[in-house]
Structure 1
Amino acid sequence: MVTETLEGQEIAAGVTLRTLARSDAPALAAAYAENREHLRPWDPVRPESFYTAEGQAERIEGLLRQFAGGTLVPWLFEASDGRIAGAINLTDIVRGPFCSSSLGYWVAADQQNRGLASAAVERVCAIARDTLGLHRVQASTRVDNAGSQRVLEKCGFEPIGLAPNYLHINGEWRDSRLFQRVLHDNAPAL
Structure 2
Amino acid sequence: MNPIKIRPAVPDSPADAAALAAAVLRNRTYMRPWEPYRTEAYYTPAGQAERLADGGRRWFAVDETEDRETGGRIAGVATLSGIVLGPFRSGSLGYWVDPAYGGRGLATALTEEVCRAAREDLGMHRVEAGTLLDNHASQRVLTKCGFERIGTAPRCLHIDGEWRDHHLFQRILHDDPPPRG
- 1:114 is paired with a residue whose SS is coil
- 1:75 is paired with a residue whose SS is strand
- Opposite residue 9 of structure 2, the aligned amino acid is L
Percent identity for Structure 1 against Structure 2: 53
TM-score, scaled relative to structure 2: 0.90
Could you tell me which runs of 5 or more consecutive residues in structure 2 were left unpaired when the two chains were aligned.
67-71
1:14-34 Cα deviation digits (max 9, x unpaired): 211112222212211111111
Counterpart Cα distance in 2 of 1:40 and 1:186:
39
Aligned to 2:150: 160
TM-score, scaled relative to structure 1: 0.86
Paired positions, count: 171
- 1:74 is paired with a residue whose SS is strand
- Opposite residue 39 of structure 1, the aligned amino acid is M
- Opposite residue 3 of structure 2, the aligned amino acid is G
Aligned to 1:15: 4
1:68-100 Cα deviation digits (max 9, x unpaired): xxx421111101382010101111111122111
Aligned to 2:33: 41
Q: Which runs of 4+ in 1 moved over 3 A?
A: none
1:103-130 Cα deviation digits (max 9, x unpaired): 1101012011110010111122112112
Which deviates the most, 20-29 or 177-186? 20-29
Aligned to 1:141: 131
Q: What is the Cα-based RMSD across aligned positions, in Å?
A: 1.4
Which deviates the most, 26-35 or 72-81? 72-81
Counterpart Cα distance in 2 of 1:57 and 1:128:
23
- Opposite residue 166 of structure 2, the aligned amino acid is S
Matched, 1:120 2:120: no
Could you tell me which runs of 5 or more consecutive residues in structure 1 were left unpaired when the two chains were aligned.
1-12
